[in-house]
Structure 1
Amino acid sequence: MTRVLVVDDQVLIRVGLAALLRAAPGMEVVGEAAGGAEAVALAAAERPDIVLMDIRMPGMDGITATGRILAEATEPAPRIIILTTFDLDEYVYAALRAGAAGFLLKDTPPERLLAAVETVAAGDMLFAPSVVCRLIEAYAHRAADKVAPPPGLDPLTTRELDVLRLVGQGLSNPEIAGRLVVSVATVKTHLNRTMAKLNLSSRAQAVVLAYESGLVVPGGAG
């Protein structure tokens, strides 16, 4: 059973999403929140598997709430899907940087929304890495002067750097395995160690860091 927390300040959207999820087999709605602060409290109390998080809300917005939830969560941390109106949105970039697992447009058909929740619950990114890379290329250079520098990559081994660079370029684990001539299991091990060393909570966050650290250059191979 996939436990979902729904967060949106618009009551019709929130109630509609909750009703859709409750009607789907294998889904359980553990709470509904109208704002970021309420979402943080409910996430701590209910420990959902998935959080559907509206990005623009009065008070604590979805970006801040995403960071708070992930920072305060016990393992396994919930995976957060950002709900937005535009797929190329600077707020979405910031949410991915905070550790969100992906983003979903609010006009997504119901069947695709349910499939998206299942995809993220299974541990995958919501959208193809190439879509995330397009978003990051659009905003990484703009964000450089607005955010703290990313953590250094000194703790990483040469092979971990190779894996992070290829993740940043949008390659899947099988594609990385083929490029480095290793098994997919080995790629997963290197990526898991990299994320643990750098305190990253999602693959999308690893892509962001690859750009912000200069390991991958927007428009180039890095």
Structure 2
Amino acid sequence: MADNPVSIGILEDDADMRGYLSGLLGDEAGMAIAFSCGTLAEARAAVAEGWPDLCLVDIRLPDGSGLDFLQDLKDANEAGAQGHALILTVLGDRASVLLAFEMGANGYLMKDTPPQQILRDVRAVLAGGNPISPQAASHLLSLMRSRPAAADAPQAEADVLTSRELDVLQMFSRGLSYREAAETLGISVHTVSDHVKAIYAKMAVHSKNEAVYEAVRNGWLEM
């Protein structure tokens, strides 16, 4: 891994935070900083020749929104790139965070997240996970539940998901990882992964965040 480090991009307008993240991730074995930018324009210029493996993205920027950068990444992935993104924001900006998840962000980081948690969440995304801190999950699900119900009557959960699949989603709604969910439910990580694949297929979603969002919106899950 040292010969082929994963590339990390940082889009954060606060210079101190940007420097802190650059030092934290740049010093980590197997990781290399591809760019560290304070504006949307600078980040767009930095990815003109190719996207890094993972971008940490702030929402509020001096020349636009991190959501615009997420849209750029989504377009690039549809064209064949394989980039990932972690939101880097504050809890107060809940509406923007919800929108970012709907646009395909892979996880949620708060700016006061401890350094070891940041490293764990970054590695989780690179391994295919979708980390959400417990505090962020609570706020996010609260906001989603407050949204107006869809015009069409939702299907009963029994018509879509099994009780065990709902158990797995409940674990994810609490911010647990695959391993933590497996330990809590007394099943293997492989079994959890199989349940997730079934959930994705049945609900026509592509991430844990989408699945939790749709389950809460349909009234299948409670915090």
Whether TM-score is above 0.5 comes out as: yes
Q: Is the CA contact 2:94–2:140 (under 8 Å) kept in the aligned structure 1?
A: no
State the distance in 1 between where 2:140 and 2:196 align.
Answer: 19
State the distance in 2 between where 1:45 and 1:7 align.
Answer: 17
Is 1:52 equivalent to 2:56 in the alignment? yes
User: Which of 23, 28, 31 is 1:27 aligned to?
Assistant: 31
What residue number does 1:7 align with? 11
What residue number does 1:135 align with? 139
User: Which of 131, 138, 144 is 2:148 aligned to?
Assistant: 144
Equivalence map 1:62-211=2 (5 Å): 62-73=66-77, 77-86=82-91, 89-127=94-132, 131=135, 133-144=137-148, 165-171=166-172, 173=178, 175=181, 184-192=189-197, 194-195=199-200, 200-211=205-216
State the distance in 2 between where 1:15 and 1:34 align.
Answer: 11
Change (3 A) 1:113 1:184: closer
Flag structure 2 segments of 5+ consecutive residues without an equivalent.
none
Q: Is the CA contact 1:101–1:203 (under 8 Å) kept in the aligned structure 2?
A: no
Q: Is the CA contact 1:102–1:127 (under 8 Å) kept in the aligned structure 2?
A: yes
Change (3 A) 1:139 1:22: same
Residue 199 (structure 1) shift: 6.0
Residue 54 (structure 1) shift: 0.5
The letter of the residue matching 2:53 is D
Change (3 A) 1:198 1:158: closer
Residue 90 (structure 1) shift: 3.0
Q: Is the CA contact 1:5–1:30 (under 8 Å) kept in the aligned structure 2?
A: yes
Tell me the matched-pair count. Answer: 212
The DSSP-based 3-state class of the residue aligned with 2:61 is coil
Q: Is the CA contact 2:25–2:32 (under 8 Å) kept in the aligned structure 1?
A: yes
Residue 132 (structure 1) shift: 5.2
TM-score under structure 2 length normalisation:
0.70
* Larger RCO, structures 1/2 (Cα 8 Å, 6+ apart): 1
State the distance in 1 between where 2:163 and 2:45 align.
Answer: 39
Change (3 A) 1:197 1:113: same
What residue number does 1:18 align with? 22
What residue number does 2:220 align with? 216
The letter of the residue matching 2:10 is V
Change (3 A) 1:133 1:34: closer
Flag structure 1 segments of 5+ consecutive residues without an equivalent.
none
The DSSP-based 3-state class of the residue aligned with 2:55 is strand
Deviations 1:15-67 (A, max 9, x none): 33223322222111112333346545645743322211112124441234324
Residue 183 (structure 1) shift: 6.1
The DSSP-based 3-state class of the residue aligned with 1:51 is strand
